Chains A and B, each alone.
Chain A
Amino acid sequence: MHGVSTPPASCVAWADDFDEWRQQARQLLQAGIPPSRVTWHDGEARHDDLFASPTISERPPSPEGASTPISIGRDQLTLLRNAARYRPRGSEQPRWPLLYRVVWRMVQGDATAMHAADDDGRVLHQRWHAIKREAHHMHAFLRFHRRDDAHGERYVAWFEPAHEILDLGAEHFADRMGGSRWIIATPGGGVSWDGTTLDYRAPCPENWTREARAAANRPNADEEHALWRTYFVSTFNPARLNHKVMTQHMPQRFWRHLSEGDLIPTMEAKARHGGQRLAQETSVGQRQGKALNVKLPADATSLPSRQRDDAPTD
């Protein structure tokens, strides 16, 4: 094959993850193959019958392409890598052709290809934004449930991320939980932390999934979640009911796995039917009140420090 001067009519390339894509893309760029000539496959569907045309591994880089070093800025690489975490839905464009078209344009000298106002660049930026948002959702809305075992304290969580962000969540929780052991199970992979190292598994082990889903479906089995539910009700201000803002920030798909999720409709209904006049939680208002009878100095503004010892305690 060496010394072929005209590129083949088309190329087929496979990549499971970003690093694989990057390696393939580098070779294709060096061989000078334009995006319109590459068919990308995502995932593990490597059936031999798909070999309709030569794969890039059969094609050594053309001497001309190899002489132009392909360099891409660190920020740009970050953008590409993170945009690739996005799982396109429905008619959205698949990730590898998009990424390849962008780097192709960059290499051709079109610096606007990765700008947010560009047709391709915009999609990259939107995807990266969606990734950051979903990672943030995981940091925020994942819930641990305590499930001790023979070795002591241990926490489990079930989470359903919309994109490939499990590692972004795991790193965060390794920083956060210190020495506590935990596992996080998702429909894709799973990860556990033993206090010192992260252990990624794909697919997620069945017993992890079972345990985590059971915990998420019966959140009250961990009785500390009952305290949390009480807190959630009390910290709500019914006089400021605002359904729209709440759902904007906390999409309903997460409610199912929050221990406070099932309280929300009731709290809203109650607030709408009268509870909305006051900021106070009704159950607090129904308790026995207690006005305090304290004698203040004539000039109350100069209440001296450390003076009064008559403050009531309960």
Chain B
Amino acid sequence: MELIDKLSILADAAKYDASCASSGAPKRSSRGKAGLGSSSGMGICHSFTPDGRCVSLLKVLLTNFCLFDCQYCVNRRSSNVPRARFTPEEVVRLTLSFYRRNTISGLFLSSGIIRSSDYTMEQLIRVARLLRETHQFRGYIHLKAIPEADPRLLEEAGRYADRLSANIELPTLTSLKTLAPEKELGTIHAAMGHIRQGIDATNDDIARDARHLPRSANPKRMAPRYAPGGQSTQMIVGADATDDRTILQSAQHLYRDFRLKRVYYSAFSPIPERPAGLPQAAPPLLREHRLYQADFLIRSYGFQAEELLNAPGNLDLEIDPKLAWALAHRNDFPVDLNRAEPAMIARVPGIGLRSVQRLVDLRRLRRIRYQDLVALRCRLDTLRPFVVTQDYRPTDADRDSTRLRQHLTAPQPAQMALW
């Protein structure tokens, strides 16, 4: 099979993984050195496909042959799809060639399980080793961690990769049992635990070296770094009946226990020859979007999953989770922007983290006025009922949550279908 045909099959097979991030890598440069590639910590999207998704990495499977039969997956062994397999050298060639043309910032390599989990993991590592050692490639590498593989292999993978990810795929034990019978939650968690240990250990080494060694001895060179971009995972949304609260609690648990960098939510995509038991239609993309918003509130704003959803169920599709929380907690509002703790200002719907910082800076210089919120381009329509400034107080008429909600959602019904 021609390389171009393999590429077409194995990129198609890999696109169900939502992650394409190239962020979080340490600073590397090839200036004045043999080899190729750099990383700056900030990810680069080199293109966007018409689905609005970022193309940052060459995202392919090494092969889409697979021994497993995960029901939601297009590559499951019972699926009637065309199959292909790259040689490690072919993946290396494509990565370097695309990289030089500046169409990607690195490689995200995953694979179906062939022969055995260990064998598959070894093949992935081989590609990364060729890139890093033979070609001195300093771009981004994200490797899929096969949870069932020997921990020693995960250890080795982390020495080459910026990021490792073991996909949890389904948020509960039961859904995993029904839809991915060969996968085991315990094994996935164990793999995440190994990766976390690896990351923590090198971070400790680096911190210790930085403390005890003279500055001239670059600590980065002393300890080979282990997956410096951290680990991530993916959960499929809408392949079964699991609700958003369970999904978010599970994500919260992963962030806490394994210090994941990111949890990706992937709305189940309709696949050819859908097995019985899977939904016919994809869940609304808006649901996925709301999960990302809620996830961001948990990671960066100090919210708990249980605050955003205090009972079983899904996030409100009509309004974003921060506004929903504020409407349910009217007693905490309005917030006086000249007095409140920054963490509380961050809970005001319509004020983002950057504006919080700017408001806090500004009030050291002078009192905050309503006009400042205009200048900082905060979402005025949304925040109006929730803030107090030196020259502004919300009027009493705005105080009823139900009416407020009607008022806030009324002008935008047309956006619903689009998201």
Binding site for B on A (CB under 8 A): 111-112, 115-119, 122, 136, 139-146, 155, 157, 172-180, 196, 222, 224-228, 230-246, 248-250, 258-260, 264, 267-268, 271, 277-281, 283-285, 287-294, 296, 300-301, 303-314
A to B CB contacts below 8 Å, 21 in the list = A112-B362, A145-B101, A176-B38, A178-B31, A180-B100, A231-B11, A235-B11, A242-B50, A246-B52, A248-B52, A267-B49, A279-B15, A281-B12, A289-B82, A291-B78, A291-B80, A305-B149, A306-B118, A309-B115, A312-B114, A314-B1
The answer to whether A240 and B285 touch across the interface, beta carbons within 8 angstroms, is yes
The answer to whether A290 and B81 touch across the interface, beta carbons within 8 angstroms, is yes
The answer to whether B82 and A288 touch across the interface, beta carbons within 8 angstroms, is yes
For the complex, give the distance between the alpha carbons of A283 and B9 in Å. 9
Min distance, Cβ B2 to any Cβ of chain A, angstroms:
10
Contact of B8 among A234, A289, A301 (CB under 8 A): A234
Chain B residues with Cβ below 8 Å from A278 are 269-272
Chain B residues with Cβ below 8 Å from A230 are 4, 7-8, 11
Chain A residues with Cβ below 8 Å from B272 are 278, 280, 285
For the complex, give the distance between the alpha carbons of A300 and B271 in Å. 24
Interface band, chain B? 35 or more
Contact of B148 among A238, A305, A309 (CB under 8 A): A305
**Interface residue? B3 (CB, 8 A):** yes
The answer to whether A271 and B50 touch across the interface, beta carbons within 8 angstroms, is yes
The answer to whether B49 and A236 touch across the interface, beta carbons within 8 angstroms, is yes
Top 6 A-B pairs ranked by shortest CB distance? Answer: A245-B52, A178-B30, A289-B80, A242-B52, A287-B82, A234-B11
Interface hub of B77, B183, B372 (most chain A Cβ within 10 A):
B77
For the complex, give the distance between the alpha carbons of A296 and B182 in Å. 10
Chain B residues with Cβ below 8 Å from A226 are 4
Which positions 63-103 of chain B face chain A at CB distance < 8 Å?
A: 63, 65-67, 74, 77-85, 94, 97-98, 100-103
The answer to whether A300 and B182 touch across the interface, beta carbons within 8 angstroms, is yes
The answer to whether B101 and A144 touch across the interface, beta carbons within 8 angstroms, is yes
**Interface residue? B206 (CB, 8 A):** no
The answer to whether A240 and B53 touch across the interface, beta carbons within 8 angstroms, is yes
The answer to whether A279 and B85 touch across the interface, beta carbons within 8 angstroms, is no
**Interface residue? B396 (CB, 8 A):** no
* Given A177-B100, A283-B8, A289-B81: A305 in contact with B52 (beta carbons within 8 A): no
Q: Chain B interface secondary structure, helix, strand, loop or mixed? A: loop
Chain B residues with Cβ below 8 Å from A155 are 100-101
The answer to whether A284 and B182 touch across the interface, beta carbons within 8 angstroms, is no
The answer to whether A249 and B97 touch across the interface, beta carbons within 8 angstroms, is no
Binds A, one of B40-48, B223-231, B323-331, B401-409: B40-48
The answer to whether B3 and A249 touch across the interface, beta carbons within 8 angstroms, is no
The answer to whether A314 and B375 touch across the interface, beta carbons within 8 angstroms, is no
Contact of B65 among A172, A249, A313 (CB under 8 A): A313
Give the A-B pair count, Cβ closer than 8 A: 264
Q: Beyond A250-B47, A292-B66, A312-B114: 13 further Cβ-contacts under 8 Å?
A: A112-B365, A136-B44, A140-B47, A141-B46, A142-B102, A224-B98, A231-B8, A234-B12, A243-B50, A246-B52, A307-B116, A308-B116, A313-B114
* Given A117-B376, A280-B12: A246 in contact with B49 (beta carbons within 8 A): yes
Q: Which residue of B lies closest to A171 (CB)?
A: B31
The answer to whether B36 and A258 touch across the interface, beta carbons within 8 angstroms, is no
For the complex, give the distance between the alpha carbons of A136 and B102 in Å. 13
**Interface residue? B256 (CB, 8 A):** no
Interface hub of A136, A241, A296, A311 (most chain B Cβ within 10 A):
A311
* Given A234-B11, A306-B116, A308-B116: A115 in contact with B30 (beta carbons within 8 A): no
Contact of B101 among A140, A174, A179, A224 (CB under 8 A): A224
Min distance, Cβ A276 to any Cβ of chain B, angstroms:
10
For the complex, give the distance between the alpha carbons of A144 and B99 in Å. 10
The answer to whether A140 and B119 touch across the interface, beta carbons within 8 angstroms, is no
Binary interface profile of B, 238-281, with partner A (CB < 8 Å = 1, else 0)?
A: 00000000000000000000000000000101111000000000
Q: Which residue of A lies closest to B354 (CB)?
A: A116
Chain A residues with Cβ below 8 Å from B66 are 292
Chain A residues with Cβ below 8 Å from B400 are none
The answer to whether B77 and A291 touch across the interface, beta carbons within 8 angstroms, is yes
Binds A, one of B54-62, B291-299, B310-318: B54-62
Chain A residues with Cβ below 8 Å from B118 are 305-306
The answer to whether A228 and B98 touch across the interface, beta carbons within 8 angstroms, is yes
Chain B residues with Cβ below 8 Å from A250 are 45, 47-48
The answer to whether A237 and B53 touch across the interface, beta carbons within 8 angstroms, is yes
**Interface residue? B339 (CB, 8 A):** no
**Interface residue? B127 (CB, 8 A):** no
Which positions 150-198 of chain B face chain A at CB distance < 8 Å?
A: 150, 181-184
Contact of A279 among B97, B115, B270 (CB under 8 A): B270
**Interface residue? B390 (CB, 8 A):** no
Q: Which residue of A lies closest to B117 (CB)?
A: A305
**Interface residue? B358 (CB, 8 A):** yes
Min distance, Cβ B363 to any Cβ of chain A, angstroms:
10
The answer to whether B418 and A244 touch across the interface, beta carbons within 8 angstroms, is yes
**Interface residue? B37 (CB, 8 A):** yes
For the complex, give the distance between the alpha carbons of A122 and B372 in Å. 10
The answer to whether B53 and A178 touch across the interface, beta carbons within 8 angstroms, is no
**Interface residue? B282 (CB, 8 A):** yes
For the complex, give the distance between the alpha carbons of A248 and B362 in Å. 30
**Interface residue? B414 (CB, 8 A):** no
Min distance, Cβ B266 to any Cβ of chain A, angstroms:
10
* Given A146-B100, A180-B36: A236 in contact with B74 (beta carbons within 8 A): no
Binary interface profile of B, 365-397, with partner A (CB < 8 Å = 1, else 0)?
A: 110000110011000000000000000000000
For the complex, give the distance between the alpha carbons of A157 and B103 in Å. 12
The answer to whether B7 and A227 touch across the interface, beta carbons within 8 angstroms, is yes
The answer to whether A117 and B30 touch across the interface, beta carbons within 8 angstroms, is no
Chain A residues with Cβ below 8 Å from B3 are 227
For the complex, give the distance between the alpha carbons of A241 and B53 in Å. 9
**Interface residue? B14 (CB, 8 A):** yes
The answer to whether A238 and B103 touch across the interface, beta carbons within 8 angstroms, is no
Min distance, Cβ A100 to any Cβ of chain B, angstroms:
21
The answer to whether B84 and A178 touch across the interface, beta carbons within 8 angstroms, is no
Q: Which residue of A lies closest to B136 (CB)?
A: A178
**Interface residue? B33 (CB, 8 A):** yes
The answer to whether A241 and B51 touch across the interface, beta carbons within 8 angstroms, is yes
**Interface residue? B416 (CB, 8 A):** no
* Given A232-B49, A291-B78: A239 in contact with B102 (beta carbons within 8 A): no
The answer to whether B375 and A117 touch across the interface, beta carbons within 8 angstroms, is yes
